[in-house]
Chains A and B, each alone.
Chain A
Amino acid sequence: MVHYVVDIKPVSRRNSPKPAPKRLWTASDPPYDGYKPVDTTTYHTSTPDSAIVIDNGSSAVRAGWQFEQAPRLAFPPLMARYVDRKLNRKFCFIGSDLYADGTARGQAKNVYEPGSDIVNNWDAQEGVLDYVFIKLGLDGSRGAVDRPVVMTEPLANLGYARKVMSELLFELYGVPSVAYGIDSLFSYAYNRGHNGIVVSSSYMSTHLIPVMDSKPLLAHATRLDWGRCQSAEYLMKLLKAKYPTLPGKLNDTQVEDLVRQHCYVSQDYSRDSVAFLDWTGLEDRDVVVQMPFTERVEIQKTEEELARAAEKRKEGGRRLQEQAAKMRLEKLIRKEQELEYYKELQQKLAIATKKEAKALLDAEDFDDEAQLEKKMKEMDKSIRKARNKDVGDVEEIEEPPTYPLLDTPDEELDEEGLKQKRQQRLLKANHDARARAKAEKEREKSRLVEEERLDAEKRATNLEAWVEERRVERQAMIQRIKDRDRLKADLGNRKSLASQMRMKSIANLASDNPKKRRRGGDDDNFGADDADWGIYRAIATGDQSDDDDEEDLNAGLKNIEAQLLKYDPNFTEDSTRDAQTDWTKSLMHSFLRGAWPYDAENQKENNQFHLNVERIRVPEIVFQPALAGLDQAGIVEIAADMITQRLSDISGSGDLLKDIFLTGGNTMFKGFEERLQVELRAVLPAESTLTVRGAGDPVLDAWRGAAQWASTPSSRQAFITREEYMEKGGDYIKEHNLGNAYI
């Protein structure tokens, strides 16, 4: 016995539906993190040369004493200074404190200009420094800040910026001595680096600095103008373009948090991005963020309520029916009674004299006997019909109605006769028309039946040709649907030809002298010809247009497809138009709405957005700035150029590769280190050893490095004292290993 295993083809190859999203993320709250207390004790116990270390960063200002382990203060460099009209009071909030109030938040000014790490707003900088000194407990008993200050500045800081900063520190605050340094170099020194390339990707920019023997080769340092701030802006723009109808608005801090939480660096962007929108596993990779929304209140009737309503309706219907039946019956009885009465009247007429007969007829509002006869006949007929309907036993005998008067010529009849003749003509015409219509319907029916028979015959005899015919028809229908869609789209676009033609016809209709003049006379006989009304169908668009047409086309298509499915062996479920426009196979649907169906009415879904490809697209820009339209090289290319070309003539440049050091908040993406390692490995000479390492704490190590450096006695040589400043001016700078050089 042979066992055959039949291939069980799945009923539908549509991708299977997914369970509900595991977690709905929400946009973050404003980062207000509480009141920072003022601490005066540390100040009083500190020695006069313990420096205040300020990491004046663009994402956050971190400040503290040099002997502490971590910066005491960390806040964004924002200031909000305004006058409250109601209370008539000046307010000034710094840092994250201003997130506590909506007005303050609206008035926030950043110290830095967006996109650069050079200080721009000096009033805000003053406010920030005030805040730092207040919170560190300085009492200003001598009318000045009397501790040295170590401050960080960006690589290749502009002379003007340094000058104004020194002016602030020395003249406004009376600081005894100041030192400037580069934050990434501080971080490197703190992480015990001596030879290497420092890759510092922070908030507003990314720097690459080669360091040899603890000395930075500033001439070969490079800056890429991309950091977390630009990433956040880019993500915001991406989301706005992707979801133009999203009602909620995201602000910068929320977008930054999204970048921080959900983005990561992919190892191979081209491959990963395509794989991202794959159906399998999409629900794990896709991040759904829900914005606040108001639920549209729809009073959902419960099952039993609905059942009860249906019952009531049926009851009502039944009652109505009963009432109607009763009324009909009553009418019937009344009619019969009337008929009886008329019969009596007729009998009376037969025996009455002429005058009495006239009188009787007048009393009943009849003109002569013929009318009475007619009325009686009518009533009889209607009674019979009604009884037939209700009771249904008496079959109506259809007799062809006779029109005796039609044949007699006009002259022979009197006035009465003429009237009668006209009436009869009308009746005859009616009757004829009805007969014609019935005949037409019969003919139509028989024709359809005939067609079907022919069709079945054809199918039986020549399956191929029939199938072919059907396919062609289906194609034609699909084409018509497509054309109709295209026409609709065209009409939406203001500049298309269809739209312009439509405008022309509207203008033509509305104008007083239409362009086309009818030959012979210009009275407006629009509408006499039935085809004229078709113009309104042509100019109707959108909601006004005939929806029936669409339904017809769709229904027709379904019909044909059903037939094909039944008879054509090659036409499977997949080939149906339905399967082809299936949303689960649609790339755009996965892109926009993830792995779940989209309901346009659902308010909850309308306020959601999905992050899928953006998760890897945004951090990719540091490696490929061309993605964002930035005309600069990516960090891999910069590093490779640096090694192979600019530093090739300096001995020991190969050693730099042994320690590629990552610091700065923007390098904390998952996969950043591996990606950099892999890509650099690919472009560098094979024999060079390559190690990539990250800072212990990419965010705080700069401050810690500065504090550590300030604690070393040798660093004091690099401090500029107040007297030196007064003498030599604001441009004076002392070069040291961890700072800028004089230009």
Chain B
Amino acid sequence: MAPITTASNETNHQALLDKLDIAKIQKPFRNPNFKAPQRRNKSVKQILSDASRREASLLTTQNNSGASTPMPVTPTEAGSLHPNPAQASQDLSRLVLEKNQKAAQTGPSVTYTSIAAAPSTRPKKRYCDITGLPAPYRDSKTGLYYHNKEVYAVIRGLSTAQIQEYLALRGAATVLK
């Protein structure tokens, strides 16, 4: 364990670490019976794809529930308890899904992806990939933009790896999948 400063020596450092360590501190405010669900660390991409997959699967396995057809009210029935509770809950989830869908189609919904900014509609200004100055020229062989002939001389001397590095800054590198 390397001490971070030259001032501290081994024992000092160990004492400091002991002080900072929270592994051995009691945490009585935690519920000891809590078990964290497995694989709860998900990235944004995973979360979004899970959600969309779930919705898609629900949709495809559903028939039209007939919730939109108006039902004649039967006064004879005492309560409106469905005889089969399992099917009732399924109906319920379907109804909720359809309601959500309708809402989604009609009103604006604010999801994480929907509020991401749209691409720009203004013409893009080109800047030199090497120096950052405005670039009136583009090298057809490598695709890099450059500012003047001096920078062009530098570009010609770059290796392929460096060229890809510069292109990656702009997001224009070739990515082989």
Contacts and interface: CB of A to CB of B under 8 A. Distances in A.
Interface string B131-157: 111100000000000011011001011
A81 B23 contact: yes
B17 A91 contact: yes
Nearest to B29: A140
Interface stretch (B64-72, B73-81, B116-124): B116-124
Nearest to A175: B29
B138 to A, nearest CB: 15
A684 B134 CA distance: 26
Interface string B103-126: 000001111101111111110110
Interface residues of A, number: 94
A161 B41 CA distance: 10
Contact of B1 (A81, A103, A116, A160): A103
A633 B118 contact: yes
Interface in B4-24: 4, 13, 16-17, 19-24
A3 interface: no
Contacts of A637: 120-122
Interface in A424-459: none
A118 B36 CA distance: 19
Contacts of A141: 28
A587 B154 CA distance: 11
Interface in A627-652: 627-634, 637-638
A94 B109 CA distance: 37
Contact of A144 (B25, B29, B169): B29
Nearest to B13: A101
B2 A102 contact: yes
A158 B48 contact: yes
A92 B21 contact: yes
Contact of A274 (B40, B41, B134): B134
Interface stretch (A128-136, A286-294, A304-312): A128-136
B120 A101 contact: no
B131 A591 contact: yes
A93 B41 contact: no
Contact of A234 (B42, B111, B121, B169): B169
B31 A174 contact: yes
Interface stretch (A236-244, A341-349, A399-407, A523-531): A236-244
Interface stretch (A62-70, A221-229, A375-383): A221-229
Interface stretch (A119-127, A317-325, A694-702): A119-127
Nearest to B47: A160
A144 B31 contact: yes
Nearest to B100: A743
A651 to B, nearest CB: 18
B4 A237 contact: no
A741 interface: yes
A161 B47 contact: yes
Interface in B33-60: 34, 36, 40-44, 47-48, 50-51
B102 interface: no
Given A93-B21, A273-B132, A221 B110 contact: yes
Interface in A580-635: 586-588, 591, 613-614, 617, 624-634
A145 B162 contact: no
Nearest to A640: B122
B22 A130 contact: yes
Given A158-B48, A587-B148, A633-B118, A743 B110 contact: yes
> How many B residues are at the interface, by size bracket?
35 or more
A534 interface: no
Contacts of A743: 109-111
Interface string A151-164: 00001111111001
Interface string A222-263: 111100000000100110111010000000000000000000
Given A588-B154, A614-B132, A244 B162 contact: yes
Contact of B4 (A102, A140, A628): A102
A100 B151 contact: no
B16 A113 contact: no
Contact of B110 (A120, A218, A241, A624): A218
A35 B21 CA distance: 10
A140 B169 contact: no
Contact of A113 (B17, B43, B165): B43
A393 to B, nearest CB: 66
Contacts of B40: 122, 164
A628 B156 CA distance: 22
Contacts of B169: 234, 237-238, 241, 628-629
Given A81-B23, A234-B169, A223 B117 contact: yes
Nearest to A174: B31
A740 interface: yes
B120 A626 contact: yes
Interface of B: 1-4, 13, 16-17, 19-25, 27-31, 34, 36, 40-44, 47-48, 50-51, 108-112, 114-122, 124-125, 127, 130-134, 147-148, 150-151, 154, 156-157, 162, 165-166, 168-172
Interface of A: 30, 32, 35, 81, 84, 89-94, 97-105, 113, 116, 118, 120-123, 126-127, 130-131, 133-134, 138-141, 143-145, 155-161, 164, 171-174, 218-219, 221-225, 234, 237-238, 240-242, 244, 270, 273-274, 277, 489, 586-588, 591, 613-614, 617, 624-634, 637-638, 740-741, 743
6 contacts: A89-B23, A100-B17, A130-B27, A223-B116, A241-B162, A632-B119
